[in-house]
Amino acid sequence: MSLDGLSYTAASRMRALLCPIGRIRRSRFLEFVERVQLENIIRLGDIAPDPKPNRTMFSPQGFPNGQIVYNFSTSHDRDHEYLEPFEPHRRTFLVIAIADFTEGNPEEILLAQFEDLRAIYRRALFHTCLIFDSPSSAPLPSPKMRANDDRDTSKFFIPVPTKRESRVTTMRTIMCDITACLLSEFTGYARTLQSLPTIESPLVSGLAEESTPTAPGGSNRLSMPSIAGASVMGGLQQQRMSMQAFGSGTTTERARIRGKGRIQISIAELYLLTGRTTDALKELVEGANVAKNYNDHLWHGKALDGIGICLVILAYLGVDFQIPNIPFPPLDAKAASKSTPTPPKTPTPIEGGSSAPSVDLQQLLELIPEIGNSVLNLFNRSSNFQGESIPQLCFSETVIRYSKFMTATYLANGLNTKSLSNIVISYPLTKPETIEKRAPGLPEKRDISASVMRAYPNPIEALTVLDASKILGGISSVLGSIGFQRKKAMVSRELIRILIPGLIQARVVGAAGAGVHPAAGLSATSGPLVATPRSPSGGLDIMEDEVEIGIMGLLEDMCAAYGILRKEAKAPKDKVTEREKNVGDEIVAENELRAFGWPALKIHVLRSCMSLCEALPDFHGVLKFTAQLLKLGGSDLAKEEQIKLATNISRTISAASKLGLSGVQTSYWDAFLLRDIELVESAIWKSPTPHGRHELVGEEESGGTPVPILSSKNPFIYNPFGKNRDTVIAEQVLVQNELAEFKVTLQNPFDFDVEVESIALDVTGVEFETEKQGVVLSPFRTQQLSIFGKASQPGNMTVVGCKIKVFGCVEQSFPILTEGFDFGKMDIKIKRMGLSVLEAKLHRPASAVSKRASGKLAAMQAAPTPKTIPISVVESQPLVVAQASSLPQSALMVLEGERKTFNVVFKNVTAVPVDIIFFSFQDSTTTQLQAALASKDMQPSEIYEYEILLLKKRALIWKNEKDKASLTSSEDTSTELVGKNDSPILIPPQSTANFDIEVLGKPGLTNASVQMDYGYLGVPKDQIGPKFYTRQAVLPITVTVNASIELVRVDFIPFATSVDFGELSGPVEGEDGAVNEKNEQYRRLIRQAGVRSAPSEYCLMTLDLRNAWPQPLKVTLQVREPPKGTAEEDGDWIDPYETSDTIQAGHQNRFVLLVKRVHLANPTAKIPSLSGSQRQFVVSTSKPTAVQERLSREAFWFREEILKCIRGTWAEVGTARKGEVELRNFRLSPRMVETVRVDDVGIKMEVVPCEEADEDKDALLQKAAPGKFMLETDRFYNLRTTITNRTSREILPILRLSPSLRNQHISAALDLSRRFAFDGLLQQALRRIPPGGATSVEMGFVVLCRGEFEVTAGVEEVRIGRWGMEREQEQRKLGPDGIPEDVLEGVVGRMSWVGREVLTMVVRGGG
């Protein structure tokens, strides 16, 4: 992880230099540098302390929770050595030499070069050498040490094993050992600092270093900072000063105390660098108090800055700490200058400052900006004193560091873990898209912008190019992070203005020093000319810790602010397909860029970028911005300008070639280069048809031979209500290793020729070899050329475009854009202004209401859609033709309901066998039925009937007993072959096969076609891929369907309650003694019913059948008991009642059937769909009411139950022709439904004798018929009423009895006051009846006069809630709009029932 050189905590990082030693390759050196940089954070608790007592000043045991953050660099900064006493973090304290053991460097050479490094970088405290990829047993160089040097020589040369042999902690352990030695050296350096009287300010020390030659330091290993006593007369001056110091208020004493305060602050800085943050905080507070009391403003600000850094690091480490009393400067500068010095105060915690860091983060967030303002004010005050001014570089860096602190808290919405990680260890931080609630105390963006602009140097020419670039780059980084792109672009333009003269001068100076031409100066002396991951600054030699983005990144950001480029995140290489899919959005963005901003300004900016790239020289940048200018200007540029830019591209490529640089290319500037690709279909190749794997039928459950085709399933006929809605898209198909021709259309809208070096198809899925061709596109032309290629393997291939290589451009994959950009459909409404116009827009439907996303309105653009050509490459396929059939002239005639079978012979004329066959059929009724199903006026019951005809009663069916074809080879022998992988061979090569097809006579059937889809898989069906391919052989036939038996009328008649089945059990004779055939037939009909005592369970069904065929037909009808379950429904009919009769031609006969009445638990259930899907999103023109819907459903379900009990067949007399009678052509009226229905609640009444009667009960009570009783007057009887609950829910009923005189007017019939006497109430409430339960109620009565009486009964349901019980909650399924999908679902209500039987009582006079 690279560290930010301008981070707020940059002053707490230890600078270390990584340099190569011995013979080592650059790639290996960079690899070893990465291994070292991964361990840049060392915890003090992991470091072993030095056992020597004189080296424990910076012992890691003083603060084990602390950490040292290394700032590794591969370059040494000598230009800012004068700032090291004031800012110790700029000094290189550690030098790590990196050697490669595999290069075989001799020990003498390594030792000599190591001593040279120690001499060159003598200001470093510790030098060591890491020998990478060294075995543990390899000998190490042993340096010679002085007699008084007691350091451990084993840490000078350290072997590092290879990555394979290294453990996770190997490199960390090595860095801990190096850090331990470095901390030991810090003690001596700190003691030397403490012995000094003072430390001069940076400007004074810088002037002293420039005027005074550096003394040789051969005998002194440590380099001391610039001090006032470094001259020869320093000792006398010190002595004279000490002799004159007699009081605490004298000038000498104040200077001495001020100097000690500065040294104390420097020692605190060393504590901060070595991870002893708590000690650093203590020393900084004390030093700040001294500086405050003695008006040392520069060092006072330096101490306050360090205090803020310590507090932030402690918060990041998560340790408990107290915020001390920070010695802020007084507000009144005059009062502060006149105040008398006071001794430093001991730090004390502020109110509430003793809590954990999580409590103090908000307080710390408010404290750091206050410290920053005080530091900058102190730095400004110091400029009033001669020699105490802060350098402009340090001031600007301080402003940027505090601005980056505020930026981190702004992006992370407070001082939290994310912001602290970014501040301390430069963890990447991005601004969240949405912030639900902003934390209190956060700075505003305008405050951050105003703060960072204080770092802008004035005048900027006073700084070096390197320092100015660093400061302007830091300002641009802060402005870009908070979204001030335009202000960032302004600073970036100033940076470019400074860089161009400096780069030109560097080229001239570097070329003169190297003795080469200036055009090749940077390429010969400065390494890479362009930005690379290893060298982000390109040809500009900028240090790694001072560069946040490369030169190209800086130019791209500036161009994005001016609307030239759209700054986007770089997509990974494995997501090229997603980028190509969004090519339409890219084209919309390009057109928006052209319309955005000031064209003249954008051209000026692009030319500035081109000038900078030429000054580097960066040939890639020159080509990139030249191409960008052509892309934005396009054909609108003047002809001379276009030719000049094209010439510039050619000249740049030539210059790069002369310098030996390869790969200097750019992207082509016209996205519409490729306009169309067409596959030229071959005349000799017939494309197979693709199918999905789900269309295959699995193996039989019995475990037999895999069945290739199930005759009852039609996989290829379009089913609009199929469960699988994935329609098979017609694909273009190629064959493996067969040459195919493609026609490509290219365009050139510019005023200069475009040289296309090569063009090839961009194909995904399979290997496709293309014969590359070149062409020169003339100005303002559209040209076509043919490209030939072939696929070398089978599979799915998709042509997404062409890979085109234009001269000077990289080979790009261009999508197929058949349509241009429609400027007329662009959104011309001004909804956004500024840079927000360049941001991505959210798409929305044209008719939808506009929605806001992130505070911005989404817009719709008419972007062109790239075209893709899916092509399937298949292996060799067989070819089958229809050779013969058993139908003369391919025509046949059938009657309605008749089934006839014919034979078809297919022949395989190729050498490839056929192991898979699908039969599908098309007939004239299919189209009509599908059109009827698509109608909006269809009711669910009618749709069900059409689906029965479409799915259950197909006109043609493949009929084969063994589900295999009868195979006949060329020798006319019947065989059964098996192909490879045990897959059945249905048609061998050069053989024929016979197939039987069955035709069902249906009304409207006039023509049909037998379609056999066949193919060769070669593998078992469970190993087939997602797709397979077949060809199709078609045999058209003509069918004539004539009428046979027609159903004219259907009616249902209830039984009279006085009919007794027992009376009809014997033969019925007429007056002459002969047996009546009609009565005998009726007797057989009743005998077949099997129930004698319940006539109400049956009804009579009459059917009028008409013979429309010119020949007599014998009709047979069968009736059975209602099936119980699906097994009985689909199984064989067991002992059905059968009746038959012969109907003459043109005659009509009536058939009477005894059918058992039906009870349905839910007669209002929703009518299902046989296809498994409902008609959603179909607006019906008719909206039936709930009552109409209930009657329709009841008629449907009772009709379905009746159809399950009856069936009919016909046979032609004298011939073998036979068929089925269509009995579905009738509807049930509400009266018929009531006749067929068995009520949910059954009511049965009967008269029973009273238990107290002493006479003969049989004599007093006689049952004349079902529901008819013979009684006597003045006798006691009981009326028993039995109520049966056939529903699936519990009911709470009320029974109502209504006696009356028979055959009388209602006014006289109900007058029973002197005729009838009841022992009880005629209306009474009953107990709850469970589902399927029954209850009986008896009530005594006496008839007082003779006559005929009738008793009717009714039951009414009481609401459950009326009796204080919880009401049943009916769960109703709701649709997406909240409306119930079924209007009748869960609707029960309050029901009432009336008994079907009427109890008749014939009363006689008593004996």
- pLDDT tens for 752-799 read 999 999 999 999 888 899 988 889 999 888 999 999 998 888 888 889
Gap between the Cα atoms of 1401 and 1246, Å rounded = 10
Unique residue bearing structure tokens 């017609």: 730
* pLDDT score at 1047: 93
- pLDDT tens for 591-638 read 777 777 788 888 888 888 888 888 888 888 888 888 888 888 777 778
Work out the average pLDDT over 1212-1238. 90
* pLDDT score at 1162: 84
- pLDDT tens for 690-723 read 777 777 754 433 333 333 333 344 444 444 544 4
Gap between the Cα atoms of 330 and 10, Å rounded = 28
- How open is the CA angle 779-783-784, to the nearest 5 degrees? 165
Residue from 376, 213, 365, 179 nearest 297 by CA: 376
pLDDT at 1048 over 90: yes
- How open is the CA angle 1293-1297-1303, to the nearest 5 degrees? 145
Phi-psi region of 283 (alpha: psi -120 to 50; beta: other; left: phi over 0): alpha
On the 0-12 / 13-18 / 19+ scale of CB atoms within 10 A, 1209 is: middle
| β-strand partners of 769 | 790
CB distance 568 to 562 below 8 Å? no
Work out the average pLDDT over 819-823. 61
Question: CA-CA distances (angstroms) from residue 1366 to 495, 1184, 1328, 1361, 1369?
Answer: 82, 33, 14, 6, 9
pLDDT at 244 over 80: no
Work out the average pLDDT over 483-507. 84
On the 0-12 / 13-18 / 19+ scale of CB atoms within 10 A, 1197 is: buried
- Residue 554 is encoded by which pair of tokens? 């800086």
* pLDDT score at 147: 57
Residue 489: CB partners within 8 Å, gap ≥ 6? 557, 558, 561, 562
Higher pLDDT, 71 or 546: 71
Q: State the helix-helix crossing angle for 392-411 and 357-382, rounded to 10 degrees.
A: 150
Q: Hey, is 1348 helix, strand or coil?
A: strand
pLDDT at 239 over 60: no
Q: How far apart are the first and last CA of the chain?
A: 122
- pLDDT tens for 402-443 read 999 999 999 888 888 898 998 998 888 876 656 667 788 888
The H or E element spanning position 1116 is: strand 1113-1119
Least confident segment among 1-15, 562-576, 1068-1082: 1068-1082
On the 0-12 / 13-18 / 19+ scale of CB atoms within 10 A, 303 is: buried
- How open is the CA angle 795-800-802, to the nearest 5 degrees? 115
- Residue 579 is encoded by which pair of tokens? 């980028």
pLDDT at 325 over 80: yes
* pLDDT score at 626: 87
Gap between the Cα atoms of 403 and 189, Å rounded = 33
Residue from 340, 335, 288 nearest 309 by CA: 288
Least confident segment among 159-168, 484-493, 963-972: 963-972
- Provide the greatest CA pair distance for the chain: 170
pLDDT at 733 over 70: yes
Work out the average pLDDT over 108-133. 91
Q: State the helix-helix crossing angle for 297-317 and 357-382, rounded to 10 degrees.
A: 160
Strand locations in 990-1092 (E): 992-1000, 1007-1015, 1027-1042, 1045-1054
Least confident segment among 260-269, 466-475, 721-730: 721-730
Cα-flanking dihedrals φ and ψ of residue 270, to 5°? -65, -40
Question: CA-CA distances (angstroms) from residue 1348 to 53, 1057, 1257, 1260, 1316?
Answer: 133, 16, 20, 16, 12
Dihedral of CA atoms 1316, 1317, 1321, 1322 in degrees, nearest 10, equals -10
* pLDDT score at 130: 92
Q: Hey, is 744 helix, strand or coil?
A: strand
Higher pLDDT, 845 or 890: 890
Average pLDDT value over all residues in the chain? 78
Gap between the Cα atoms of 499 and 463, Å rounded = 12
Work out the average pLDDT over 903-908. 91
Unique residue bearing structure tokens 């470019």: 496
* pLDDT score at 124: 92
In percent, the amount of the chain with pLDDT more than 70 equals 75
Work out the average pLDDT over 805-809. 90
The H or E element spanning position 378 is: helix 357-382
- pLDDT tens for 1277-1319 read 999 999 999 888 888 999 999 999 988 888 888 888 888 888 8
Least confident segment among 314-328, 383-397, 409-423, 536-550: 536-550
Go through 136-162 and write b for each residue having 16 or more CB atoms within 10 A of its CB, e for each that does not.
Answer: eeeebbebeeeeeeeeeeebbbbbbbe
CB distance 307 to 374 below 8 Å? no
- pLDDT tens for 976-1016 read 333 344 457 788 998 999 999 999 998 989 999 998 888 88
pTM of the predicted protein model:
0.55
Go through 688-715 and write b for each residue having 16 or more CB atoms within 10 A of its CB, e for each that does not.
Answer: bbbbeeebbbeeeeeeeebbbbbbeebb
CB distance 128 to 156 below 8 Å? yes
* pLDDT score at 839: 63
The H or E element spanning position 781 is: strand 781-791
Question: CA-CA distances (angstroms) from residue 472 to 3, 11, 376, 564?
Answer: 18, 20, 19, 22
Higher pLDDT, 9 or 240: 9
In percent, the amount of the chain with pLDDT more than 90 equals 27
Question: Would you list the DSSP string of 879-910?
Answer: -EEEEEESSGGGEEEEETTBEEEEEEEEEE-S
Identify which of 329-338, 991-1000, 1249-1258 has the greatest average pLDDT.
Answer: 991-1000
- pLDDT tens for 7-66 read 999 999 999 999 999 999 999 999 999 999 999 999 999 999 888 888 888 899 889 999
CB distance 1354 to 1326 below 8 Å? no
* pLDDT score at 1089: 57
* pLDDT score at 663: 79
Please, which pLDDT band fits residue 475 given cuts at 50, 70 and 90? very high
- How open is the CA angle 133-134-140, to the nearest 5 degrees? 145
On the 0-12 / 13-18 / 19+ scale of CB atoms within 10 A, 135 is: exposed
Identify which of 91-95, 436-440, 846-850, 1239-1243 has the greatest average pLDDT.
Answer: 91-95
Q: Is the dihedral of CA 526, 528, 530, 533 positive or negative?
A: negative
Q: Hey, is 206 helix, strand or coil?
A: helix
Work out the average pLDDT over 1397-1401. 88
pLDDT at 204 over 70: no
Please, which pLDDT band fits residue 1334 given cuts at 50, 70 and 90? very high
Work out the average pLDDT over 275-288. 92
CB distance 894 to 1044 below 8 Å? no
Higher pLDDT, 214 or 930: 930
Taking only Cα atoms into account, the Rg of the chain, rounded to an integer number of angstroms, comes to 51
Cα-flanking dihedrals φ and ψ of residue 1250, to 5°? -75, 140
Q: HEC states along 832-877?
A: CCHHHHHCCCCCCCCCCCCCEECCEECCCCCCCCCECEEEEEECCC
Phi-psi region of 426 (alpha: psi -120 to 50; beta: other; left: phi over 0): left
Please, which pLDDT band fits residue 1274 given cuts at 50, 70 and 90? confident
* pLDDT score at 830: 58
- Residue 396 is encoded by which pair of tokens? 């600007």
pLDDT at 1197 over 50: yes
Q: Is the dihedral of CA 338, 340, 341, 347 positive or negative?
A: negative
- How open is the CA angle 738-739-741, to the nearest 5 degrees? 140
Gap between the Cα atoms of 766 and 797, Å rounded = 6
* pLDDT score at 1105: 94
* pLDDT score at 33: 93
> Where would I find the H helices in 383-411?
392-411
The H or E element spanning position 585 is: helix 583-595
Higher pLDDT, 959 or 1203: 1203
The H or E element spanning position 1083 is: helix 1077-1089
* pLDDT score at 713: 44
Gap between the Cα atoms of 56 and 59, Å rounded = 5
